[in-house]
Amino acid sequence: MSVMLWGAGSLRGQGHPTPLGPADVLILVNADSPCSRSVADLYRRFYPGIADEQVVYLYGLPDSAALSATPAQEIITRQQFETLIAQPVRDYLIATGLVNNVYCIITTAGMPYRIKDTNPLLANVVYPNGSNPTLTLDNRDVVNAASVESELAVLFQIDSAVPAGARMPINGRVVNPYQGYADGIKSWASIRDIIGRRTSFRWDTGTLWMIQKPPRIEGELRWENWQMCGFSAYNRRLSPADIYLVARLDGPRQAGTYPIFSVHQMLKRAAAAGNPSIGYNPALSTAVIDNAPNAPDVYAYSRILNFPPQYDVLSFSQHSIPPGAEEYSGQFSEGNHFMRTFYWLTGMSPPSDVIVTHDIDIGLGGVAVWDDTNTIMNQNYLASGAGIIGLLTYGRNGGDGRPAGYLLTSGPDGGNLFKCVPGAVFASLESFNAVTMFTDVNTLPSAQGKIVDFIQMGGTAAVGHSFEPVRCAAIQGEFLFRNLLRDDDMDGVGDLTLVEAAFSALPYLSWSEVLIGDPLMRLRHGPGALVNTVECREDVDGNGIIRFSDMVAVQWYLFAR
């Protein structure tokens, strides 16, 4: 297979829309979960501008963050999702007139986040001990399991009130219309009409989709597409204007503990990354692209499904709606996303069989490390005093013998794999890295690194898969890290938020993906720092001493309502 890197192209947007901010979010709270209520209140302490009307309390849900909780409480049925989450949120947005004013939905620890398939034969898709690649791969056109977060992105498109044909099917995965864009989501503010537009969409439900089981793409699907451009659609209408970006405020926990402390640390790190008194120092910050020569090369290859190969990225000014089959002259683009990530960050073609370091020559800057050896890349290979801002890795699929807990045990002296700078983000080629938020749950035979392990390691955010996503759903690191570090106006502040960068890297919606972290995090130049992972999480006021005031604060967090 030939290697395609493509240039990063010009990513400078036309004009400067209002950045995504606190006024643009809606927080969802499990009203029956003290932890969920506390996480929402905690987030509002970091963002005091979030108004009361931007918080929705949902009732009747299991509490996935209770002291007695197990992974079973992380799972709900499709009916529970629709009646206890989706419809109440739709009703609230309509009643308050916020449908088009909200751009980002935030879920909270204590809310379930995996939706079980309605087919009993596919129920194992979302279970840590039962899910397997074959089950999803063989049924990828009919699986309707999803993460709550990915399904909320298309909240109004899957509404049963939408007429058949225009309503987005819940079976299978849907091409993300925001994939590959370099503009912030509010660039679409002038054409945002979610309810008005949703009846105009076209979703093919005929036999063509059953031949190769491709992802669904909105538009006019014609038989000649099958030979010409690999299932793209003509006259597309679904655009970033029609979706919500979604993030989850959650973190690592063990049975019998609350995740509130982990969430608190995660939010403190995000705040530090955007605080000019700490901020992002490129001299201290390394993006690690951990390639794996022992793994099948095809693992890192997947298609760019949202636009044809003549474009490197998309912009609102040129494509307010993603280009359709009219602009294709052949098949979808396909390339190695690990190689593309290193090339886009540095301008250097990644070499084989070596470890190389190169300055990041775009945006906020930094250092990129490319590892194409059988070594378990860790902190020992970074410059003294440096930490990671990003980690893109094969994880356990790299064939280098690392254990499932490698993020916490494969570093120097058997400790953390890396030190982190505030703002560090993680993605891996591991199908089950978000299958549970519990760190002490046995997920054999599919045990892999967990996104919550990265938060425990000192990370600030991570995006992963809540069940087997199939290879083409892999997070595309070139968009994630390029957009996270973008600074086109050179003001020392990242152009996009975390949630925008993450969603630009997702091939699909209505599928398995979940982002944990502060969606509004935006990197800002500063003197920098390394994350302290030995600070006591029960030291709520951060003075280094656990005393009665901390215990009072914990009680207030959890129960004083």
Question: Residue 445: is the preceding peptide bond cis (ω within 30°)?
Answer: yes
Task: Check pLDDT > 80 for residue 17.
Answer: no
Contacts of 258 (CB under 8 A, 6+ apart): 35, 65, 67, 558
Q: In this predicted model, what pLDDT tens digit does every residue of 365-404 receive, in sequence order?
A: 999 999 999 999 999 999 999 999 999 999 999 999 999 9
Query: What is the helix (H) or strand (E) element at residue 194, kind and residue range?
Result: helix 194-197
pLDDT at residue 11, rounded to an integer: 44
Cα gap 377→291, rounded to integer Å: 9
254 CB burial (10 A radius; 0-12, 13-18, 19+)? exposed
Reference 169, options 222, 112, 218; nearest CA is: 218
pLDDT at residue 242, rounded to an integer: 99
Cα gap 541→532, rounded to integer Å: 15
Task: Check pLDDT > 70 for residue 241.
Answer: yes
Reference 179, options 494, 475, 381, 421; nearest CA is: 475
The letter for the amino acid at 458 is G
pLDDT at residue 228, rounded to an integer: 52
**Would the pTM of this model clear 0.85, i.e. be above it?**
yes
Task: Check pLDDT > 90 for residue 475.
Answer: yes
Task: Check pLDDT > 90 for residue 329.
Answer: no
Give how far the C-alpha of residue 6 lies from the chain's centroid of Cα atoms, to the nearest Å: 23
Domain locations along the chain: 22-245, 278-514
Cα gap 227→245, rounded to integer Å: 33
Reference 295, options 370, 373, 386; nearest CA is: 373
Helices (H), 398-504: 406-409, 451-457, 477-484, 498-503
pLDDT at residue 222, rounded to an integer: 77
Secondary structure (H, E, C), 48-111? CCCCHHHEEEECCCCCCCCCCCCHHHHEECHHHHHHHHHHHHHHHHHHHCCCCCCCEEEEECCC
> Between β-strands 75-76 and 104-108, what pairing exists: parallel, antiparallel or unpaired?
unpaired
Is the separation of the CB atoms in 427 and 501 below 8 Å? no
Cα gap 323→326, rounded to integer Å: 7
Reference 258, options 540, 79, 35; nearest CA is: 35
